[in-house]
Amino acid sequence: MKFQSTRGKAPLVSGLQALMNGLAPDGGLYVPAVFPKLDFDWERLKDASYVAIGTQVLSLFFDEFSEAEITNFLTEAYENFDYPQKVKIQELDSRKDLLELFHGPTLAFKDMALSLLPYLLTAAIQKTQHKETLVILTATSGDTGGAALNGFNNVTQTKIVVYYPSVGVSKLQRQQMTTASGKNTHVVAVTGNFDDAQKAVKQLLIDQELIQRMQARSLRFSSANSINIGRLAAQVVYYVYAYAQLVQKGRLKAGQTLDVTVPTGNFGDILAAYWAKKMGLPLGKLTVASNANHVLTDFFASGIYQADRDFKVTSSPAMDILVSSNLERLLFDLAGADSVAGWMKDLAEKQTYEIDDKTLAKLQKQFNAAFCDSAQTSQTIKKIFTENNYLLDPHTAVAVAVNENFPSPDQQLIVSTASPFKFAETVLTALGQTAAADPELNLNKLSQFSKQAVPAAIADLFTKKPVHTQKLAIKDLRADLIETLGL
Ligand SMILES: *Cc1c(COP(=O)(O)O)cnc(C)c1O
C-alpha cells in the first residue's frame, strides 16, 4: 500500500514513511493511492472483538506490519480503557444509537487514535532503521493535546510538543495538559486560537531551515494531529466495529444502510466514516454537525469556504475551528490534486475558495450539514437527560441536535466524542445547576446529580501540580522550538 499527497507534488511513500512524515513535503495530506476494500463477512464480524476488527482494517492500510504486530499494538494501546469492549453502543431510541468513543484515559475520542499512534510510529522508526528521535508537533483545540501527551508519555525516540490556545480550552483540558509529567513533553499556551496554532504547526513542519538544523541533531518532525494518516486509519476501525455490533444486537440487518452523524471540527472523525464507506461499509448519509463556528455548514450549502469570519468561543471548544484540515482529503477524493492545490492556495492567500458545481453536487449527495448554537446545545443536554436519563457532553449534544434536522428512514448512528465529565461546568449549567469556579467541585456535583461515578481516569487529576506554565505568542514558537530542541 502506497500513499500520495492531496496536492500531487510529493513522491508516493510507504505507510511507514507516511506515518513518520505526518504532513507531505508539498504541504498536502497523505491519502491511500488506491483504497483498500474490506471483506465484510458479518456472520463472523458481528462476534469479533475490537482488536480483531482493528487488525483486519489496519493491515490493509499498513501492510508493512504483520497481523500479529498490529494485534499487539491494539491490545496494548487500549489496555487501560475503562470499558472492556473499548467502545460502547448506547441505544437512544428505536432508530438511534450513540457510539461512545470516550472510554480512554483522557475521556475524549482522540484516545482511540492517539493511544495507538505511538505504537505505529515507534515500530515504523524501527522497521525503517531510522536513528532519529521524532519531534511530534501538535496543535490542539483541547482534546488532542491531552491524548497525545498521554499516548507519547516517555515513549522512547519521541519528543512531544503541544500548542494549545490560551483561551477556549476547558479547565479540565488545561489541567490534563499542564500536568503532563513525561520527560519528553513540552507544552505551551499560545495567544491565538486553534487555527493560528494549527497554521503555525503546518508551517514549522515544512520549514526547510529548521528541518536541516534538526537533521544535524538527529531529530525529525512528525505530527499527532489528524493530518497524520495513522489517526485516520485508526478511526476507520470504530465505524466497522459499530456496524458489526449493531448487526449483533439486531439493530441492523447485514447490508442495511446506516446513517452517521458526527460532531465535527477538523473533519477527521467524519472523514474516517467516509473512508469506511469507500471501503465498502454500508453507510448512507454522513451528517456534518457544527457549532456556532459553522464554516462547514455554509460550505456544504454554497460551495464557498469562507474562513475569514469571527471566531466564536463556544461550549463545544473542540469544534471551535475555522480551517478544517481534513476537508482537503475529501476534496481530493472528489476533484483530484490539481483542483485541491488551487483551492488550498486560495485559502492560504485569500482565506476563501470556491469549488465547482460538479464537486459541490457530489458533496451534497453524500453529506448533510447543519449547526447548533450554544443555547440549543444546552437545551439538548437537558432534554436528553430528562427524557432518556442519559448525560451528553456538549459536543455530542451538537450532533444529537443537528441529527434532528434530517429525518431519514434509515437507522442512525450518532458519534459521542467526549465524556460529560470532561465538560462538567457546561453540563451542570445546562441541567439548571449552579456550577462552581472550582472544576474539581463540579466533577463531584455532576456525579451527585447524575448518580454516575466520576471516571477513574480523572479522579485525582486536580491533585497534580501544573508543570508547564509557559505562554507564548505564535511568532515566538519557532525560536522556542530551537531553544527547547537545542538546535
Ligand atoms: C476533536 C473533537 C471533535 C472534532 O473532531 P474532528 O476530527 O476534529 O472533526 C469533536 N468532539 C470532541 C470532544 C473532540 O475532542
Query: What are the tens digits of pLDDT across the range 438-451?
Result: 999 999 999 999 99
Query: pLDDT tens across 291-324, in order?
Result: 999 999 999 999 999 999 999 999 999 999 999 9
Domains of the chain: 88-107+231-453 (3.40.50.1100)
From ligand 1's centre to the CA of 109, what distance in Å? 7
| Phi, psi (degrees; rounded to nearest 5) at 414 | -110, 125
Query: What pLDDT was estimated at residue 167?
Result: 85
Nearest to 396 by CA among 106, 84, 109, 103: 109
Exposure of 465 by Cβ count < 10 A (0-12 exposed, 13-18 middle, 19+ buried)? exposed
Interhelix angle 229-248/268-278, nearest 10 degrees: 60
Model pTM? 0.97
* Pocket around ligand 1 at a 6 A CB cut-off: 108, 110, 143, 226, 263-269, 318-319, 395, 417-418
| Assigned C-alpha cell, 287 | 451528517
Give me Rg for the CA atoms of the chain: 21
Q: How many distinct helices (H) and strands (E) make up the chain?
A: 21, 16
CB atoms within 10 A of CB 71: 18
From ligand 1's centre to the CA of 300, what distance in Å? 19
| Assigned C-alpha cell, 435 | 456550577
Nearest to 273 by CA among 264, 263, 258, 286: 286
Cα 286 to Cα 41: distance, rounded to the nearest angstrom: 23
From ligand 1's centre to the CA of 482, what distance in Å? 30
| Phi, psi (degrees; rounded to nearest 5) at 157 | 60, 25
Pocket test for ligand 1, best of 395, 400, 402, 415 (most atoms within 8 A of CB): 395
Query: pLDDT tens across 7-32, in order?
Result: 999 999 999 999 999 999 999 999 99
* Dihedral Cα 79, 146, 380, 256, nearest 10 deg: -50
Query: pLDDT tens across 229-261, in order?
Result: 999 999 999 999 999 999 999 999 999 999 999
Cα 228 to Cα 216: distance, rounded to the nearest angstrom: 24
Atom number of ligand 1 nearest to Cα 269 = 7
End-to-end CA distance of the chain: 35
Pocket test for ligand 1, best of 319, 330, 377, 416 (most atoms within 8 A of CB): 319
Cα 46 to Cα 135: distance, rounded to the nearest angstrom: 39
Q: How far is CA 240 from the centre of its chain?
A: 17
Average pLDDT over residues 122-134: 92
